[in-house]
Chains A and B, each alone.
Chain A
Amino acid sequence: MFIRSAEPWLDGSTLGEHLEESGVSRRSFLEFCAEMAVILGLGSAAAPSVAQALEAQQRPTVIWLEMQECTGCVESVLRTEAPTIGDLVLDVISLDYSETLMAAAGHAAEKARADSMAKHKGSYLLVVTGSVPTKEDGIYCTMAGKTIRQHLEEAAAGAAAIIAVGACAHWGSVQAARPNPTGAVGVRDIIKNKPILNIAGCPPIGDTVTATVVHYLTFGRLPASDHEGRPLFAYGNRIHDQCSRRAHFDAGQYVENFDDENARRGWCLYQVGCKGPATYSPCPITQWNQRTNWPIGAGHPCIGCTEPYFWDTMAPFYQRLPEVGGFGVEGRIDSIGATLAVGAAAGVVAHAGMTVMHQIRRRRSTNQLPESGSPSSGETNDG
C-alpha cells in the first residue's frame, strides 16, 4: 500500500513529493491508482492520468458534519479497503472535524472547526451525514446550543463542494419515512448554491465515499452524477443488470421461500421480494467489506436502500415488485425471466427499469402505505 508511509504529508507539498520522501515505490503507487481508476469506472488504462493528477494535489481539508443520523455511514467509512481509514486520516486528507473520531470535545472541538473553516474558506470539502429536521424551527437536533441547520448553513457557506453521504443526507431516510415526524430533509433541500454529490445508501459502501474523495482530488471537481445527484461511476447501473444471480432470473429459476432447495442453489431472489430490478447501486460490483459479500450474495433480497424514499416505496420488503408485470408479460412469473432471456434487448430492460421507478414514485406520491401481505400476494400471483 502506497499510503502506509512513515512520512507525513507536509502542508504545502504535493503528493508526488510526499511519496518520494516516503520511499514509496512507483509500482505500488501505480497499483493503487489502477485500482482507483477501475472503481471510478475509468478503466485501468486511465491509471497514469490518475497518478499524474494525484501526485500534483495537496492534502485537502475535510470537515465532516454529523446531523440527524445513526452514525452507520461513519462506521461504513471506517471499513474502507483502500485507502484505509487510518491512512485516509493520517496521510490522504486533513480531517479537521469529525465528532466520532476527534480528540477534542465541546468548545475545543467547535474551535477546531471554526479555525479550519476560516483558514480554508472556499477550498475545504464538506462531508455531511444525517438529515436536517425542519419542524419546530429545527429544535429536534441541536449541537453546541445551535440548531444543526445553522451549523450546516455555516459550514456549507465556505465549502468548495459538499458530499452528502448516506440516505439521511441524501433525502432524510428512515426518520423521513411516512409520516416524517420531525420534518427531516436532505442537504439538497437546505443548501441550494453549492455543488452537492449524493453517495446514496443506508449506509453506502465506504469505498464509494473514498473513491469520490479521490475523484475530487484527481480531477478537481465532483464526478458526473445522475438525476439524483449520485455519481455515475458507482450508481450508473441497476443491480439487476449486474447481479451474479441474473442468469437464474433469465432462466426462470427462483427462490420461492427462504432456505428452500432453490435458495440452497443460490437462485434468483426476485420472488421473495428482491428490489434489485428497481435499484441503482455499486453493490454487485464492489461488494461490501473488502469484497467479502453483498446482500443478495448472502441470500437476502435487496431492499433498495440507494433509492430515494425506499422505506416507503420498496416496502414491504418481502413482497415482490408487482410492477414487473409492467413488462407486458402475462402469465406465470417464472416465464418472465425466460421471456426476457429470449427476447429482451438491454434497452427494453432499461426501459422496464424506468417504468418500475416511475410506478414506485407514483405509489409514493399517493402517500399510501404499501399493502402488507405475503410475498405471494402480489399482482403476478400465479407462479
Chain B
Amino acid sequence: MASTKVVIDPITRIEGHLRIEVQADAGKISGSWASATMFRGIETIMTGRDPRDAWAYTQRICGVCTTVHAIASVRAVEDALDITVPRNANIIRNLVHGMQYIQDHVIHFYHLHALDWVDVVSALSADPDKAAALARSISPWPNNDAAHFRAVQVRLKKFVGTGQLGIFANGYWGHPAYKLPPEANLMAVSHYLEALDWQRDVIRLHTVFGGKNPHPNFLVGGMASAINLDETATINAVRLADVQGMIRKAKDFVEQVYWPDLVAIAGFYKEWGAIGGGVPNFLACGEFPESDPRDLKSLYFPPGIILDKDLTTVHEYDHKKVAEYITSSWYTYDGGDDKGLHPWEGETNPKYTGPTPPYEYLQGEKKYTWMKAPRYEGKAMQVGPLARMLVGYASGHADIKELVGAALGKLQVGPAALFSTLGRTAARGIETVLVARKMEDWFGQLIANVKAGDTATFNKDKWDPSRWPKKSQGYGYLDAPRGALGHWVQIEDGKIARYQCVVPSTWNCSPRDAQGQMGAYEAALVDNHPLARPDQPLEILRTIHSFDPCLACGVHVLDAEGALLAEVKVQ
C-alpha cells in the first residue's frame, strides 16, 4: 500500500480546535503532526488588572475543565501575598475540584471517548436479556435490568429508523476495529444516556458553593459562601445534606457504572495495552492538599517525575527545569527559534507562517501549530491521569498501588501495559474511583470543623491592597483532570505586572522541539499504531481521545513598546 496522507480536522469530541495529520503506510502510522488551530491571547488582557480578579479571567481559558484555572489562579495570588486560607476554604476547594475530576472524567469516558470503542448501531441487534445478564455480572447497578435495556434499545431503534441521526450521523459504525459484542454495546449506550442525566445532578455541588456551573465563583483568601447553620441564605444543614447526597450519588455511579464498564470494555481491547505509548516520561505536580497547598507533603496525589518508563525511581519535580521551544510553532524568539526559554524569561511574538486558508496540508511546514513545546530538562513529557497514577504507584502510594494492581489483575496484564492508549484511559478511571472515595473524607472534615465551631471560610488580613508588598510574585500549581497546570503571577503596586500559565495540553499536544523530539500526541500516534482504513481513522481518535485534549488557547503578553513582559501558553 502506498503512503497516504490523512487529515482529521476537526478532531471532534474534545474541547477546542485540533487538527491531526498523519502518514499511513500498510496499515501503520509512520508520521504524525498535531496542530492547535485557535489562538485567543487571554494573558495579554491580565496586565494592569486587580490580581483578585485574575481567577475570573483565567477560568474562561476553559469551560470544560472549569474551576481548574480559577483555583490555580487564587493559589498563585495567595502565594504571592502570603495568604493562608482557612481550613474550610481549602476543603471546599478540594470538594469542588474533586467533583470536577469525577464529572469531567465520566463525561470524557461516555460522551467523548466511548464512541471510539462502542458501536451504537451494533447495540440495535443486542439481546436485552443477555445484556442485563452481562451487566449484572459486573455490577449491582439498579438499572442493569432487561426492561431498562429493552426500553433504551427501542428508543434507539426508532431513532435510527427516523433517518435523522443527528450527532450519530456519519460515525464509523461497522468498522472492523469495533470489538464489543452487541450486548456490551447496548449496556454502554444505556449508560451513555444515564451519565448525561447523572452529570448535571452531581455537578450542582459547584452551584452550592460557587453559585453556578460552568464557571463557579472563587475568592482570593478563601471562599465567598459563608457558613451559618442558622440562616437560610448561607451554607446550612439543607445545603450540606444536598452536597452529601451528591457525593454519594457520584461515588455510586463511579463504582457501579463507570469503573465496571471501563474494565469490561477494556477486556475486549487488551491489544491497545501495547499501542500508542509514545513519550516515556511523565510529570505530575501533585494535587489535593490536606490544608495548605504549600505543604507538598500533604498532597493526596504526590508530585514527581518518571523517566524512560522506569518505575523504580521517582525524581523530584522542580518547575525551574521547564523550558519552552517554538521551533515548530507560529512564534519567533529574539535570540533564535531553536532556543529553549524558561517561562519566566519566555517571549512570545506570534507570527503565522502557515499556508493561507483554505489549505489542504500543514505537514511539510516547518511551523505548524499555535502550541509551543514545553520540555523538562530537555525531555518531552506526558501529563495527566496516567502520569499521576504512575508517580503514585512508583512512590508506593497505598491507595493507588492497590487499585492499579487490582485493575492489572482483572485485565491479566502486566504494568508495561500501562504505557499505552489503554493505560491512559484506565488510569483516568482509577483516579476517579480514588477521588470519589476521598470526597467523603473531605466532607467529613468539613462537618467536623463546623461541629467544633470553626465556620471560617475567608482570611481578610491581606484583602486590602494597602497591606500588600510593593512587589511580589507567586506560583499556583494544580494537577487538573487533564494534567499538571501552573499559573505564575507578579504583582506590582497592587496590579498584575506579569501573568503566565503552562497548561496540561501544552505538554501533551506540543509539536516537535529544536531536537526534533515529538510531543506526546505525535509520539503516541507513531508507536506501534494501526490505521486500517485511512478514510475512517477510528484508531487515531482512540489514541488522541485517550489524552482528553483541551485546546482552548495559547497566550502571550507584550508591553506597549513591544518588549516582552510575559508569555503564556494556554490551551
Enumerate chain A interface residues (CB-CB to B < 8 A): 5-11, 59, 61, 66, 68-76, 78-81, 84-86, 89-90, 93-96, 98-112, 116, 133, 136-147, 150, 173-175, 177-179, 181-182, 184, 202-203, 205, 244-245, 257-260, 263-266, 283, 288-290, 292-300, 303, 311, 315-319, 369, 372-374, 376
A311 and B45 in contact (CB under 8 A), knowing A101-B167, A263-B226, A298-B224?
A: yes
Mostly, the B contact residues are loop
Beyond A75-B213, A372-B48, list 20 extra A-B contacts (CB 8 Å). A7-B158, A68-B38, A70-B62, A75-B214, A86-B193, A95-B167, A96-B167, A100-B15, A103-B115, A140-B38, A143-B10, A145-B359, A179-B44, A258-B221, A299-B224, A316-B50, A319-B50, A372-B495, A373-B465, A376-B464
Whole-angstrom CA separation of A106 from B111 in the bound complex: 18
Query: Shortest beta-carbon distance, A163 to chain B, in Å?
Result: 17
B63 touches A72 (CB 8 A): yes
B56 touches A317 (CB 8 A): yes
A300 touches B219 (CB 8 A): yes
A311 touches B57 (CB 8 A): yes
Q: Return the contact of B49 from the options A8, A96, A316 (Cβ within 8 A).
A: A316
CB-defined contacts of A143 to chain B, threshold 8 Å: 9-10, 17, 37
CB-defined contacts of A86 to chain B, threshold 8 Å: 193, 196-197
Judge if B500 is at the interface, Cβ distance under 8 Å. Answer: no
Judge if B166 is at the interface, Cβ distance under 8 Å. Answer: yes
Q: Return the contact of B217 from the options A95, A103, A111, A300 (Cβ within 8 A).
A: A300
B207 touches A292 (CB 8 A): yes
A79 touches B166 (CB 8 A): no
CB-defined contacts of B162 to chain A, threshold 8 Å: 8-11
A264 touches B227 (CB 8 A): yes
Binds A, one of B228-236, B253-261, B431-439: B228-236
B13 touches A102 (CB 8 A): yes
Binds A, one of B127-135, B198-206, B306-314: B198-206
B38 touches A290 (CB 8 A): no
Judge if B563 is at the interface, Cβ distance under 8 Å. Answer: no
Whole-angstrom CA separation of A98 from B192 in the bound complex: 17
B63 touches A71 (CB 8 A): yes
B215 touches A71 (CB 8 A): no
Binds A, one of B71-79, B267-275, B452-460, B513-521: B452-460
A141 touches B39 (CB 8 A): yes
Judge if B212 is at the interface, Cβ distance under 8 Å. Answer: yes
B358 touches A146 (CB 8 A): yes
B50 touches A315 (CB 8 A): yes
Q: Return the contact of B155 from the options A5, A72, A99, A259 (Cβ within 8 A).
A: A5
Query: Shortest beta-carbon distance, B171 to chain A, in Å?
Result: 3
B537 touches A106 (CB 8 A): yes
A202 touches B60 (CB 8 A): yes
B208 touches A182 (CB 8 A): no
Residue of A nearest to B355 (CB): A145
Residue of A nearest to B11 (CB): A105
A11 and B163 in contact (CB under 8 A), knowing A86-B197, A372-B495?
A: yes
A264 and B357 in contact (CB under 8 A), knowing A103-B170, A203-B215?
A: no
Most chain B Cβ neighbours within 10 Å, of A66, A71, A138, A244: A71
A106 and B465 in contact (CB under 8 A), knowing A11-B164, A150-B358, A299-B234?
A: no
Query: Shortest beta-carbon distance, A246 to chain B, in Å?
Result: 12
Most chain A Cβ neighbours within 10 Å, of B12, B13, B352, B495: B12
- A and B contact pairs by CB, cutoff 8 A, 21 listed: A7-B154, A7-B155, A7-B158, A59-B164, A68-B38, A71-B63, A72-B215, A76-B63, A100-B14, A103-B168, A104-B171, A105-B12, A141-B39, A142-B357, A145-B358, A178-B45, A259-B222, A264-B234, A266-B231, A295-B210, A372-B48
CB-defined contacts of B359 to chain A, threshold 8 Å: 145
CB-defined contacts of A150 to chain B, threshold 8 Å: 357-358
Whole-angstrom CA separation of A105 from B221 in the bound complex: 43
Q: Return the contact of A71 from the options B171, B201, B537, B552 (Cβ within 8 A).
A: B552
Interface size class of B (residues with CB under 8 A): 35 or more
Whole-angstrom CA separation of A258 from B37 in the bound complex: 41
B200 touches A290 (CB 8 A): yes
5 pairs of A and B residues whose beta carbons are closest in the complex: A72-B63, A266-B233, A181-B41, A103-B171, A295-B211
Against A, the Cβ 8 Å flags (1 = close, 0 = not) of B89-111 are 00000000000000000010001
CB-defined contacts of B171 to chain A, threshold 8 Å: 103-104, 108
Whole-angstrom CA separation of A76 from B120 in the bound complex: 25
B200 touches A78 (CB 8 A): yes
Judge if B541 is at the interface, Cβ distance under 8 Å. Answer: yes
CB-defined contacts of B169 to chain A, threshold 8 Å: 96, 102-104, 112, 116
CB-defined contacts of A264 to chain B, threshold 8 Å: 226-228, 231, 234, 455
CB-defined contacts of A266 to chain B, threshold 8 Å: 226, 228, 231-234
Residue of B nearest to A147 (CB): B357
Residue of B nearest to A184 (CB): B40
Residue of A nearest to B218 (CB): A300
Query: Shortest beta-carbon distance, B302 to chain A, in Å?
Result: 30
A374 touches B207 (CB 8 A): no
Whole-angstrom CA separation of A107 from B171 in the bound complex: 11
Residue of B nearest to A109 (CB): B12
Enumerate chain B interface residues (CB-CB to A < 8 A): 7-17, 37-42, 44-45, 48-50, 52-53, 56-57, 60-64, 66, 107, 111-112, 115, 120, 151, 154-155, 157-164, 166-172, 193, 196-197, 199-201, 203-204, 206-217, 219, 221-222, 224-228, 231-234, 242, 352, 354, 356-360, 370, 455-458, 460, 463-466, 494-495, 535-537, 541, 552-553
A8 touches B159 (CB 8 A): yes
A8 and B494 in contact (CB under 8 A), knowing A75-B214, A177-B45?
A: no
Query: Shortest beta-carbon distance, B549 to chain A, in Å?
Result: 11
A71 touches B62 (CB 8 A): yes
Whole-angstrom CA separation of A147 from B357 in the bound complex: 6
A103 and B57 in contact (CB under 8 A), knowing A71-B62, A84-B200, A140-B38?
A: no
Whole-angstrom CA separation of A150 from B356 in the bound complex: 13
B494 touches A259 (CB 8 A): no
Q: Return the contact of B207 from the options A81, A108, A139, A293 (Cβ within 8 A).
A: A293
A136 touches B352 (CB 8 A): yes
Whole-angstrom CA separation of A325 from B51 in the bound complex: 26
CB-defined contacts of B163 to chain A, threshold 8 Å: 11
A300 and B155 in contact (CB under 8 A), knowing A112-B170, A258-B222, A264-B228?
A: no
Residue of A nearest to B221 (CB): A258
CB-defined contacts of A147 to chain B, threshold 8 Å: 357
B360 touches A289 (CB 8 A): no
Query: Shortest beta-carbon distance, B110 to chain A, in Å?
Result: 11
Query: Shortest beta-carbon distance, B492 to chain A, in Å?
Result: 11
CB-defined contacts of A72 to chain B, threshold 8 Å: 60, 62-64, 66, 214-215
Query: Shortest beta-carbon distance, A315 to chain B, in Å?
Result: 6
Q: Return the contact of A90 from the options B64, B155, B535 (Cβ within 8 A).
A: B155
A318 touches B50 (CB 8 A): yes
Query: Shortest beta-carbon distance, B323 to chain A, in Å?
Result: 24
A372 touches B45 (CB 8 A): no
Query: Shortest beta-carbon distance, A139 to chain B, in Å?
Result: 5
B200 touches A104 (CB 8 A): no
A369 and B48 in contact (CB under 8 A), knowing A11-B163, A175-B40, A257-B463?
A: yes
Q: Return the contact of A145 from the options B9, B209, B211, B221 (Cβ within 8 A).
A: B9
